[in-house]
Amino acid sequence: MREHNLNRLALIDARFGRATAVEGAEEAFDEAFLRVREAVLRPVMEDVAGELRKLGHAPRIAVEDLDHEGDPMRSCIVLHLGKRGRGEASGYVAFGVVRDGPAPEVLAWLMAPPTPFDLLRYAHPDRIDEGHVEQLLVDAIEQLFARSAG
């Protein structure tokens, strides 16, 4: 087997293969997400929303419960684009805790009505940093704007 694939399998195992249920782990994960949501995600979203407003759009940031492909997700933070001429129909980018595997993760996704597209999963909220979130938001916004350009 190639060396890079051996390394990748080891990383996959380290991230996903050793997750076990620990009492209080979900609560600690949720608390970490809420902390990162307010300290990292919201400020970056506010910066991006401010720039969109300068360009004549009407973005809105909300903390709300969302449904993602049939799974309820609580305490999500959402940047509704509010693209000029399309409003809420222009879609959104969201971050929330997903529990569809052995351990919770933070899921970043975009909603290009009517279809959600998963962008990235974070094994722990503490792995979310401002620079990466900013780039992810700009890339997602480009996708949403391009889809509605026609």
Reported as a single tens digit per residue, the pLDDT across 63-114 is 999 988 888 888 899 999 998 887 777 899 999 999 887 889 999 999 988 8
> What pLDDT is stored for residue 22 in this prediction?
47
Q: Domain range spanning residue 100?
A: 23-149
3-state secondary structure of 115: strand
Which residues contact residue 61 at a Cβ distance below 8 angstroms, ignoring those fewer than 6 apart?
42, 45, 46, 49, 77, 78, 79, 80
pLDDT over 50 at 135, yes or no: yes
- Residue 84 within any structural domain of the chain: yes
Of 12-16, 44-48, 146-150, the least confident: 12-16
Whether 11 is in a domain gets the answer no
In a domain, 95, yes or no: yes
Tell whether 114 is covered by a domain.
yes
| 12 domain residue, yes or no | no
Domain count, the chain: 1
Classify the C-alpha dihedral 125-130-135-141 as positive or negative.
positive
Residue 41 lies in a domain: yes
Residue 107 counted as domain residue: yes
**Is residue 143 assigned to a domain?**
yes
